[in-house]
A and B are shown apart, each in its own frame.
Chain A
Amino acid sequence: MSESDYLAEIREQRAFMMQHVPHSAAIGMTFVDVEPNAAILMVPYSERLVGNPDTGVIHGGVITSLLDNASGIAVHCHMGERKGMATLDLRIDYMRPATPGEDVYGRAECYKVTNNIAFVRGTAYHLSDGQHLLDDPIATCVASFMITGGPIADWKEMAAQAAGGQLPADQSGGSH
């Protein structure tokens, strides 16, 4: 499979999975795009994600979910195939609070894959006039993943079931 075909498949698959993985759907996480070694996701601002009711700033944990997920997709982009994997560790540095009311974007880049370990770095940021403000980060992360080769969801089968209306309603991602 050529690189562009593989990335096209990841785009289709991830846009579907974002809505069908319960936690991703629950926080409204949205697929934005992939590049050969990188992935971009977005979490829309929502009152339920607020970590400090005095300021309205979203909880750091939302950024952890965003960057963890983007990092995993970045590894798949780099490998050129989907394989089961597990996060080994994730370090997050918080640079500034997210702006209340604004959507948070996360871009992760996989810069090295060995036989069974993948290394990723990522950034959480806002958009301004459609520009990705990567040089004004809310948070940055570094993560490593172990490639386990374990089971992965057969998204095409899930998509076929969803089209046939066989998925339970609470997995349809329709809460947003």
Chain B
Amino acid sequence: MDALQQLRSSRDEKHLKALLQSIPYTRFLHIDAELRGDELTMILRYHEDLVGNIMLPAIHGGVIGAFLETAMMIHLAWVSDTDHLPRPIDINIDYLRSGRALDTYARGTVTKHGRRVANVRVEAWQEHRDKPIAAAHGHFRMKDEQGETA
């Protein structure tokens, strides 16, 4: 991926944003990234296409899952020296509060970075960092291996 190659050579916010813009689905969801010092924050910009419950209204649970998965993937791409996007093996999502019609933020941490597989955790919130709306952990494959399809 060109955008990933460029991110590896110039590790800055501009190239993080460019990577997210190069992926059709993250562009469609309006997922953005901001960098303050070494702290990466992912942002899901609210728009109507994200709504899954028109009564509340609330962001679709699948969108929150997709945002957390993307946050884990981009966080891993950011902290590791990889030439392809880490691929999810499994993802566990805990839904803690409904996602309201607001921007959503997420930050991740790498729990273990092995040679082939990494374990990542991420938490998402809206107005208050100490009131998370969702949390997730997952495993990602870090290396392409011959003969493996997933």
Contact = CB atoms under 8 A, between A and B. Distances in A.
Interface residues of B, number: 42
Contacts of B85: 51-52
A170 interface: yes
Contacts of B53: 21, 153
Interface string B50-75: 11111110011111011101100000
Interface residues of A, number: 42
Interface string A89-125: 1111111110000000000000000000000000000
A60 B69 contact: yes
A86 B55 CA distance: 13
B149 A96 contact: yes
A90 B65 contact: yes
Contact of A58 (B25, B84, B89, B150): B25
Contacts of A54: 1, 84
A164 interface: no
Interface stretch (A5-13, A30-38, A42-50, A74-82): A42-50
Nearest 3 pairs of A and B residues by beta carbon: A61-B66, A65-B62, A64-B65
Given A22-B51, A24-B60, A47-B24, 9 more contacts: A48-B24, A51-B24, A52-B85, A60-B69, A60-B88, A61-B62, A64-B69, A68-B61, A97-B149
